[in-house]
Amino acid sequence: MIEAVGLTKRYGDKTAVYNLSFQVRPGAVTGFLGPNGSGKSTTMRMILGLDNPTSGSVTIGGHPYRRLPNAPRQVGALLDAKAVHGGRSARNHLLSLAQLSGIPARRVDEVLGVVGLQDVAKKRSKGFSLGMGQRLGIAAALLGDPQVLLFDEPVNGLDPEGILWVRNLMRALAAEGRTVFVSSHLMSEMALTADHLIVIGRGQLLADMSVRDFISANSADFARVRTPDTDPELREKLTSALTEAGGHVMPEQDGALRVTGLPLPRISDLAHETDVRLWELSPHQASLEEAYMRMTQGSVDYRSTIDQKAGLQQPLPPGAQPPMPVPGQGQPGWYAPPPPQQGGQPFAPAAYGGAPAGAYGAPGAGTANPYAQQPAQPQQPAQAHQPAQVPQPAQAQPSAPVPAPAAPAPAAPQTPVGSPAPQQASADAAPAAPQAPAAGKQTAAADAAPAAAAASAATATPTQPEDAR
Ligand SMILES: Nc1ncnc2c1ncn2[C@@H]1O[C@H](COP(=O)(O)OP(=O)(O)OP(=O)(O)O)[C@@H](O)[C@H]1O
């Protein structure tokens, strides 16, 4: 179990993490969510002993990482997949990590197979795509068969098959009783992968609850009502009747109505009484993304502005109107989930069918390796959001966001890990790191542990303390 108590980290006058307390329990996938710059990576680095807390503490199995007996064999992590020595082959990279911790070479080949890189094992990693690099980082995290795993944006750059594979991997690892802590900006993915969520905003805890509770607490159920497209008057008539009855009606871009405040039978009765035919009346629960937007909208530091294209466009002629928003492409200030079955509601994992095969439940074991033919297409990680709004009044948040500290310093943190390799300073630290971090990837944290990279991936020790689980 990972336990943070009053964890605070300041960089000069920038408070990256403030008074954060939470537990990450074994046997579940715990998602770690928060807007850009909210402190997720900083928190993970403190968990791994790469940054010292300004105050508070964080332990794994009751010990700070640096005092964990044989830490590399208990904790695996993927923090920065790009931080590898590009001149080394994937196999040699893993081999060097394995040798540090006495892991047999055959384990290297095992994890290469688990992540689907066996066919490119001898290729230099500098030629790897983003997704292939992520797979290599995940392989390094798995190398030691650790009980505690941390993944910072593990699906970044993975293709759909890779995303599905990571989802199954995380769930399989948790099902084996391991502690799995994973950050992601992909809400739809988190909804399918995580059991529990820890949400932070501006370094402070916003929520610590199950995914189901999080969605219930931060969204309102609503009904979707559609009247015949052929008769717009019916829509107006029904809107008036529903509003008079105390309902809250919002038009959706495709012409349907989103109704809150009235139960479905009442909506049906009102439609009947006003002689309005319905083409649809369906119950809906908001998605995790919508609930997340609602919770974190007050904690977003970096927001897009409208691109005015100053001096680059002809002004509109007098009397001309700017183009209307295109249905389905969104419009500022309005966030409506897509219609059901088109991404608005998470697909049930069972929909993917079939038990995953292979180690850690990796699907497609034994199938052709896509990397032997062509690299994976990187995909956009987090989307740049317009400030999202949902048509419900904001819910009370469990805690107020941290008062905005000093001017934003969006410098991305760098980690010295090429593998999961958190550094270790204790006397029982693993030998010095065999890998030279990629250029520019040296630790930026002045208080990072001295170099003695303990590959987070190391063989499982038969004497792992139970409390490390
Ligand atoms: N070494 C550092 N020195 C100074 N400021 C830092 C350092 N590391 C992080 N910060 C700042 O701390 C804040 C939290 O950063 P962090 O990288 O932990 O956020 P994050 O939630 O991981 O963001 P993202 O989702 O964009 O990866 C940011 O404002 C960042 O600029």
Which string of DSSP letters, residue by residue, matches 198-229? EEEETTEEEEEEEHHHHHHHT---EEEEE--T
Calculate mean pLDDT across residues 429-451. 34
Given a cut of 70, whether residue 147 has pLDDT beyond it is yes
Give the distance (Å) from ligand 1 centre to CA of residue 293: 20
Grouping H, G, I as helix, E, B as strand and the rest as coil, residue 439 is coil
The pLDDT assigned to 452 comes to 32
More confident call, 454 vs 203: 203
Angle, CA of 121, 381 and 301, to the nearest 5°: 135
Question: CA-to-CA distance for 151 and 164, rounded, in angstroms?
Answer: 15
Question: CA-to-CA distance for 265 and 270, rounded, in angstroms?
Answer: 9
Question: CA-to-CA distance for 204 and 402, rounded, in angstroms?
Answer: 6
Given a cut of 90, whether residue 149 has pLDDT beyond it is yes
φ, ψ at 74 (rounded to 5°): -110, -25
At the topology level of CATH, where does 2-217+348-468 sit?
A: Rossmann fold (3.40.50)
More confident call, 246 vs 456: 246
pLDDT tens column, 348-365: 333 333 333 333 433 333
Calculate mean pLDDT across residues 336-353. 33
Residue 404, burial from CB neighbour count under 10 angstroms (0-12, 13-18, 19+): exposed
CB atoms within 10 A of CB 214: 26
Pocket test for ligand 1, best of 18, 38, 443 (most atoms within 8 A of CB): 38
Give the distance (Å) from ligand 1 centre to CA of residue 276: 54
Question: CA-to-CA distance for 388 and 425, rounded, in angstroms?
Answer: 44
Which residue type does 452 have? A
The pLDDT assigned to 70 comes to 79
Q: Which residue's CA lies nearest to atom 5 of ligand 1?
A: 11
Task: Dump the DSSP string for 357-409.
Answer: -SGGG-TTTTSPPHHHHSPPPP---S--PPPP--SSPPPPPSSPPPPP-SS--
Which residue type does 71 have? A
The pLDDT assigned to 186 comes to 86
Give the distance (Å) from ligand 1 centre to CA of residue 95: 31
Calculate mean pLDDT across residues 83-110. 86
At the topology level of CATH, where does 222-284 sit?
A: Alpha-Beta Plaits (3.30.70)
- Ligand 1 atom with minimal separation from the 185 CA: 25
Q: At what angle do helices 232-244 and 264-273 cross, to 10 degrees?
A: 120
Give the distance (Å) from ligand 1 centre to CA of residue 298: 18
Whose structure tokens read 């916003």?
206
Pocket test for ligand 1, best of 10, 32, 40 (most atoms within 8 A of CB): 40
Question: CA-to-CA distance for 162 and 148, rounded, in angstroms?
Answer: 22
What is the pLDDT of the chain when averaged over all its residues?
72
Question: CA-to-CA distance for 340 and 362, rounded, in angstroms?
Answer: 29
Token pair belonging to 329: 């492409």
- Ligand 1 atom with minimal separation from the 44 CA: 18
Given a cut of 50, whether residue 445 has pLDDT beyond it is no
pLDDT tens column, 370-425: 333 333 333 333 333 333 333 333 333 333 333 333 333 333 333 333 333 333 33
Buried b (16+ CB within 10 A) or exposed e, 335-355: bbbebeeeebbbeeeeeeeee
Give the distance (Å) from ligand 1 centre to CA of residue 286: 30
Give the distance (Å) from ligand 1 centre to CA of residue 33: 14
Calculate mean pLDDT across residues 105-126. 89
Pocket test for ligand 1, best of 13, 17, 41, 79 (most atoms within 8 A of CB): 41
Residue 45: closest CA among 416, 405, 425 = 416
Calculate mean pLDDT across residues 118-123. 86
Q: Are 274 and 175 in contact (CB under 8 A)?
A: no
Give the distance (Å) from ligand 1 centre to CA of residue 11: 9
The pTM of this model reads: 0.63
**pLDDT > 90 fraction of the chain, expressed in percent and rounded:** 41
pLDDT tens column, 61-81: 999 999 998 787 899 999 876
Q: Which residue's CA lies nearest to atom 29 of ligand 1?
A: 37
pLDDT class of 52 with cuts at 50, 70, 90: very high
Given a cut of 50, whether residue 229 has pLDDT beyond it is yes
CA dihedral 408, 302, 78, 43 (to 10 degrees): 50
- Ligand 1 atom with minimal separation from the 382 CA: 25
pLDDT tens column, 256-295: 999 988 999 999 999 999 999 999 999 887 778 888 887 7
pLDDT class of 54 with cuts at 50, 70, 90: very high
Give the distance (Å) from ligand 1 centre to CA of residue 350: 36
- Ligand 1 atom with minimal separation from the 444 CA: 1
First to last CA, the chain: 6
Q: Which residues in the chain are classed under CATH 3.40.50.300?
A: 2-217+348-468
Under 8 Å CB-to-CB from 221, ≥6 apart: which residues? 260, 283, 284, 285, 286
Under 8 Å CB-to-CB from 72, ≥6 apart: which residues? 100, 101, 144, 421, 424, 430, 454, 455, 456, 457, 458
Outline where DSSP puts E strands in 397-447. none
| Pocket residues: Cβ below 6 A from ligand 1 | 11, 14, 16, 34, 36-42, 408-411, 413, 444-445
Question: CA-to-CA distance for 200 and 197, rounded, in angstroms?
Answer: 10
Pocket test for ligand 1, best of 42, 47, 52 (most atoms within 8 A of CB): 42
Token pair belonging to 402: 């941290």
Q: Which residues in the chain are classed under CATH 3.30.70.100?
A: 222-284
Q: Are 78 and 137 in contact (CB under 8 A)?
A: yes
Give the distance (Å) from ligand 1 centre to CA of residue 60: 22
ipTM: 0.97
